[in-house]
Chain A
Amino acid sequence: MDLGAFAQCVSSTLCVVSQLTSALITGLILFLVASGLSLVFGVMGILNFAHGSLYMLGAYLSFSLLRLNFGVATVAAALGVAVIGLLLERVFIRHVYRAPLLYQLLLTYAFILVLDDVAKLIWGYDFVSMGVPDAFRRPPIFIGRAPVPAYYMFIIVVGVVVAVGLWLLLTRTRFGRIIRAAADNPTMVAALGVNVAAVSAGVFVLGSFLAGLGGVLAAPVRSIFPGMGFSILVESFIVVVIGGLGSVAGAFVGALLIGFVRAFGSVAFPALEEGLVFMLMAAVLLTRPRGVLGVGKEL
């Protein structure tokens, strides 16, 4: 433990700004992936283990499309993953909505293996590195005396815009109201004449799009390899546990908390940086077993 270093850090703008950026980019990418996971779980009751693989596909598609143009690649890759999500849901996952939990696990876990192998066949066994697009290859922007890479500013802006957009979509639109109603009582929603199957597909597509977007944003700064979806899947589960099952706002809080714990934990407890995230999860489970923003209802 190094509390001296921590005290010194919080009293310096340079340190606070740097670690804050670090927390935000880790947290926001994680939020994109975890919010999709949480949404799909909350509305459809499906625990989609293949969600991390959609993140991986987002990264690979963006890597392949980059030669067109970065803007096009970003949008096209995220939409591409949404289309893959639609196919997955319509062809496979819709058959297990009412099946026992084990069937869902087997099916979605199988897709981790299948999609990893597909990635291996198309892009090779080895990791690939995309590098940041040329437009962002410039000296970092200085806030105070702290450098913030231009590309990280971009991630932060996109992450915040998507978070706000998602919040507006869920709270201010008819689609959002139906989603929340379907999460609460799908039978009643169906009885009211809403096409629940279409809503489910819509939610799954939205979740896939978010995971894909997470992968697209991470691709230029992380190495891309078959199996990269798994570690973010585990972290996303932690976010969902911390934030509360099915709560997108909870996913936002949970993801940012993990970002902060990682960024400031590396200063205060360098030896414990990894374990801190799990300790945070344990603490939330003990004090608020439904998660920080989990719904009050007994599941």
Chain B
Amino acid sequence: MDNGMNRRQFLTAAGAAAAGATLGPLVPGPRAYSAEPIVVGFVSIFSGRVASLGETGYRGLEFAIDEINAKGGLLGRQLKAIKQDSAGKIEDAVRVARDFVTRDKVDLLMDHSSSREAFAVREVSRDLKKVTMVTASETTELTADPKARTPYTFRAARQTLHDGIVGGIYAAGVSKAKGMTKWYSASPDYAYGRASTEEFFASLKASFPEMQIVGQAWPKLFEPDYTAFLTKMLQDRPNACYSALWAGDLVTFVEQGGLYGLFDQIAFFGINLADYTILKALKKVPAGMHSGSRYLTNVPDTSANKSFGERYEKKYKELPTNWSQECYTGMQFLAEAVRKAGSTKSDDLVKALEGLTVKAPWGVDGTVTLRKRDHTIVNYAIGWGQTQPQAPWVPKTSSVPWDKILAQEEAYLKSKGWV
């Protein structure tokens, strides 16, 4: 070798590449130089297969901020957001969150990370006593486990347990009607995928005890090729499959499954299917798949929700995602709390946020609430229905009243020893 590289150097170099990848490039956002505006630090993923998480979430936040600023801001000050990419890496998300608080002196923190990073960012929030609005991590445990809860973390994102309960009840209805007893799952192998699948099946089993799980696939997050899992599923011959895959992973899974004719044989229940990023990325949305509502302009079917979708589309030339609406809602909560508390001090904001109700397009009665006990959002619209190949993609959805969701939630949390 004329540059003198040997095997050991090759391995060192390959190792260096892997290390380089974990350190990763960061996209610095604009910094706050003036003490004048109220600053929100926004940490999320802006690169790779789920860049849409950060990009569309940030638009939701920006959309809310522009509306608030147009009405004169908060406490006579303008609102401003700064953003930074964590590239989906836990250590980077933690560093970004810390830097926002200690270096940039942000007033508020918005953590729009996947559940992989959100648990670590929660500890930053606890340590630095900074109010943090979680707008993407849906894993129940993040706020439900009282031993791990922090006073400063609030969640304006869906909770897997709520979606799972409604999904399970809906799936039980379909299963009874069609005699589907043999169930399968294909979900990403990390906190969110595991929790979502367990909670869906718990709810399904409660309403339909005849069901049995005949196999489970746990591909890693961002798996490029699902073929080995798909062929195994075909051999196990389930009647139906639940999946908590999301974004590009879900699109790839549906495309690859379609090649095997999988969905002609197996009823598919994808909790994350009905979101505009997915529906538009799929070359052909298969008819008759079952999906939970992520963001749809017709769930809930109200003029407030429709108007939100239209205003957003006018500004960004695309419809909002579930993440846009969660960040939009998270900002509404923070803004209302600042108004109520008359300050941006963490302890004042915690008091103002606990039990706070604000107007939101996806609220079932036009409002959503941050529950005092566990700081998680309730009363948002959850619908399940079947897909069709063209807009509005999921024309009809069925839902479950919130008192029933909450009762079933209580039973589940008790079984976990969390209440």
For chain B, the bracket of interface size reads: 35 or more
Contact of A127 among B2, B52, B261 (CB under 8 A): B52
A14 interface hit (Cβ, 8 Å): yes
Q: Can you pick out 20 interface pairs between chain A and chain B where the beta carbons lie within 8 Å of each other?
A: A14-B235, A15-B235, A18-B231, A22-B228, A22-B230, A45-B2, A125-B47, A126-B51, A127-B49, A127-B50, A129-B251, A129-B283, A140-B259, A221-B252, A222-B224, A225-B51, A226-B48, A263-B227, A273-B228, A290-B7
Residue-wise, chain B 258-282 has the 8 Å CB interface mask toward A (1 for contact) of 0111000000000000000100011
A267 near B5: Cβ-Cβ < 8 Å = no
Interface check A12, CB cutoff 8 A: yes
Measured CA separation A78–B255 after assembly (Å): 23
The stretch from B9-17, B155-163, B176-184, B301-309 touching chain A is: B9-17
Q: How far is the CA of A116 from the CA of B51 in the complex (A)?
A: 12
Does A127 contact B259, Cβ atoms closer than 8 Å?
A: no
Interface locus among B18-26, B141-149, B391-399 = B18-26
Interface centre among B5, B230, B249 (most CB of A within 10 A): B5
Within the complex, the shortest CB–CB distance from A201 to chain B, in Å, comes to 16
What's the Cα separation between A186 and B4 when bound, in Å?
13
Residue of A nearest to B27 (CB): A117
Alpha-carbon separation in the docked complex, A263 to B234 (Å): 14
From A22, A41, A98, B227 is in contact (CB under 8 Å) with A22
- State the majority secondary structure of interface residues on B: helix
Q: Tell me how far the C-beta of B379 lies from the nearest C-beta in chain A, rounded to whole angstroms.
A: 30
Provide the A45-56 mask, 1 if CB < 8 A to any CB of B, else 0. Answer: 101010000000
Chain B, Cβ-Cβ closest to A24: B227
Pairwise interchain contact B283-A131, C-beta atoms closer than 8 A: yes
| B 343-373 binary contact with A (CB < 8 Å = 1; else 0) | 0000000000000000000000000000000
Whether B259 and A152, one on each chain, are in contact in the complex, defined by CB atoms closer than 8 angstroms, is: yes
Q: How large is the interface on A (under 10, 10 to 19, 20 to 34, 35 or more residues)?
A: 35 or more
Q: Which residues of A contact B52 (CB under 8 A)?
A: 125-127
A290 to B10, CA, bound (A): 12
Identify which of B3, B13, B222, B228 gathers the most chain A CB atoms within 10 Å of its CB: B228
CB distance from A146 to the nearest CB of B (A): 8
Which B residues are CB-close (under 8 A) to A231? 222, 224
CB neighbours of B222 from chain A (8 A): 231
Interface string of A122-155 (1 = CB under 8 A from B): 0001111111100010011000001101111000
Q: What separation, in Å, do the CA atoms of A267 and B18 have in the docked complex?
A: 28
- What residues on B are CB-neighbors of A132 within 8 Å? 255, 259
Check if B217 is an interface residue, CB within 8 A of chain A. yes
Which of B2, B17, B20, B229 sits near A98, CB closer than 8 Å? B2
Is A225 within 8 A of B49, CB to CB? yes
Partner of B1, one of A15, A45, A233: A45
Give A274's nearest chain B residue, CB to CB: B220
Complex contact B3–A140 (CB within 8 A) = no
Q: Is A19 an interface residue (CB 8 A)?
A: yes
Which B residues touch A202, using CB under 8 A?
Answer: none
Contact between chains at B47 and A97 (CB < 8 Å): no
Please tell me if A237 contacts chain B, counting CB pairs below 8 Å.
yes
A109 close to B (CB within 8 Å): yes
A197 close to chain B: CB less than 8 A: no
A245: Cβ under 8 A from any B Cβ: yes
Please determine whether A228 and B232 come into contact, CB atoms closer than 8 angstroms. no
Residue contact A151 to B224, C-beta cutoff 8 Å: no
Q: How far is the CA of A272 from the CA of B65 in the complex (A)?
A: 46
Q: A18's contact among B10, B217, B235, B248, by CB below 8 Å, is which?
A: B235
